[in-house]
Chain A
Amino acid sequence: MTRARASRLLLAVGGSGAAILMLLALGGLPRLGDVPHPYAERAVPAALSRHTANVISSVNFDQRAFDTMGEEFVLFAAAVAAVLLLRRFHDEEEDAHDLQYGPRDVWSAANLAGFALLAPTMMVGLYVVAHGAVSPGGGFQGGAVLATGLHLAYLAGDYVVLQRLRPVAVFDAAEAVGAAGFVLLGISALFVGDPFLTNWLPTGTLGALASAGMVELFNVAVGMEVASALVLLLAKFLEQALVVRGGGDA
C-alpha cells in the first residue's frame, strides 16, 4: 500500500510540476497564427521549382527523402517485430469452429454494405496513392486506406473469404519490395551522377498526374510498404483473436 501511495505522490509532484512549467512556457509562446515560418518560405518555392503541387509530398519524398527513408524503416521494423511476436507457437493450436465456411444463407445489412464499399474503397486508395504529388494524399495515406478497405471483405463475407483475398505470403513479399524499392529508387540517382535520393527524373508540368518526377515513384513504394505492413499487422491480430487457442504450458 505504501508503494502505491508513494507512486501517487510522485505522480502528483511530477504532474503538477510539469503543468506549472508548461503554463509558464505558454506565456512566452507567440499567438496562434503569428509564428514566423522560415522553413515554409524555403520549402514552398523549392516544391514549385520541381513542379510538385502537393508541397507536403515534396517535403517528404524530395526535400527530406532521407528522413522519410528512416521513418519507413521504423515502420518496417515495428511491423516485422509485431508479426514475429504474434507468430503461432508450437504449443498453440488452431481452433476455427466458430468461423464461417461457404456462402451464407442470409445477407445482413453489414454484409451488403461491406460488399458494396469494397471496390470503391480500393479505388479511392489507389487514387490517393497515385495522386500524392498533385492533391492531398500519397503513399502513407493511400496505403492506410487500401489496408483498411481490404478488411471490408471481412464485413462482406467472413474470415475465410478475407483469408482467400489476402494471401499473407504475398503481402509479406510486397512489404519487403516496398521498403527495398524506396532505397533502390534512391540509389538510381547515383547512376545518373546525382547524390542518393535526388529527384532526377523530368518533373513535367505543375498539377499533371505525371509531374514531380521521383516523388510519384517514391509515393508508390511507400504506399506498397504501408499497405502491406498494415495488412500483415491486421492479419496477425485477427488470427490471434479469432483462430489461435492458447497452448497447455508456456
Chain B
Amino acid sequence: MMAEVVLAVLLAAAAGIGTSVALTRDPTRQALVLSAYGLVLGMLMVALQAPDVALAQIGIGTAVVPLLVVLTVAKVERELSEGREPGDFEEGSDKGSSL
C-alpha cells in the first residue's frame, strides 16, 4: 500500500521533470534539469526494488552525463564565438585545401 503511494508520487515527479528536460532549450540549464531527473529516476529505481540499477543511474545519469553536457556546452560556445561565421567557413577551407 505504502509502496504504491511512494511509486505514484515518484512516477509523477519523473514524468514532470522528464517533460521539462525535453522542453528546456538552453543546454546548460538542461544539463541541470537532466541531473535532477537522474536523481528522481534513481529514487524511483530504489522504490522499484532495484538498488543496483539506482547506483549506476546516480553515478552515470546524475553525475557523468550532465558533466559531459556542461563541458560540451562550454567547448561548443567557445568554438562558435571564436570561430568564423558559418558562411565564412567554405572560403577558409577552400583556401586550406587548395594549398
A interface secondary structure, majority: helix
Pair B72/A145 contact, Cβ less than 8 Å: no
- A250 in the interface, Cβ–Cβ < 8 Å? yes
Q: How far is the CB of B15 from chain A (nearest CB, A)?
A: 14
When the two chains form their complex, are residues B71 and A144 in contact, meaning their CB atoms are under 8 A apart?
Answer: no
A117 → B minimal CB distance (Å) = 13
Cβ of A47 under 8 Å from chain B: no
Q: Which residues in chain B, 11-56, are within 8 Å of chain A measured between CB atoms?
A: 51-52, 55-56
CB within 8 A of A237: which of B7, B59, B63, B72?
A: B72
The answer to whether B64 and A230 have CB atoms under 8 Å apart is: yes
Which A residues from 116 to 152 make CB contacts under 8 A with B? 128, 136-138, 140-141, 144-145, 147-148, 151
**Which residue of the partner chain, among A56, A240, A250, contacts B71 with CB atoms under 8 Å?**
A240
Partner of A234, one of B68, B75, B89: B68
Binary per-residue interface labels of chain A (141-175) against chain B in the complex, 1 for a CB within 8 Å, 0 otherwise: 10011011001000000000000000000000000
Q: Which of A57, A136, A145, A234 contacts B67 (CB 8 A)?
A: A234
Q: Is A6 part of the binding interface, using a Cβ–Cβ cutoff of 8 Å?
A: no
Residues of A within 8 A of B71 (CB): 234, 237-238, 240-241
Q: Does B82 lie at the interface of the complex (its beta carbon under 8 Å from any beta carbon of A)? A: yes
- Contact B55 A249, beta carbon cutoff 8 Å: no
**Residue in B closest to A248 when the chains form the complex, CB atoms:** B92
Q: How far is the CB of A40 from chain B (nearest CB, A)?
A: 12
Q: Per-residue CB proximity of B71-99 to A under 8 Å, as 1/0?
A: 11011001100110000010011011000
Do residues A234 and B51 form an inter-chain contact, with CB atoms below 8 A?
A: no
Task: Let me know if A234 and B64 touch, CB within 8 A.
Answer: yes
Contact indicator A249/B92 (Cβ below 8 Å): yes
Residues of B within 8 A of A128 (CB): 55
Given contacts A138-B52, A140-B56, A148-B64, contact A250 B72 (CB under 8 A): no
Interface contact A144-B75, CB-CB below 8 Å: no
Across the interface, B55 reaches (CB within 8 A) one of A136, A147, A237, A241, namely: A136
Across the interface, do A250 and B56 meet the contact criterion of CB distance under 8 Å?
no
Is A246's beta carbon under 8 Å from chain B? yes
Q: Scan A219-247; emit 1 where CB is below 8 A from any B CB, else 0.
A: 00000000000100110011011000110
Give the CA-CA distance A138 to B87 in the complex, in Å: 50
In the bound complex, how far is the Cα of B53 from the Cα of A235, in angstroms? 25
Distance, CA A245 to CA B82, complexed state (A): 9
11 A-B pairs with CB atoms under 8 Å apart are A136-B51, A140-B56, A141-B59, A144-B60, A147-B64, A230-B64, A233-B64, A237-B75, A241-B74, A246-B78, A246-B82
A-B pairs, top 9 by smallest CB distance, nearest first, are A144-B59, A136-B51, A141-B55, A237-B71, A241-B71, A241-B74, A249-B96, A241-B75, A148-B63
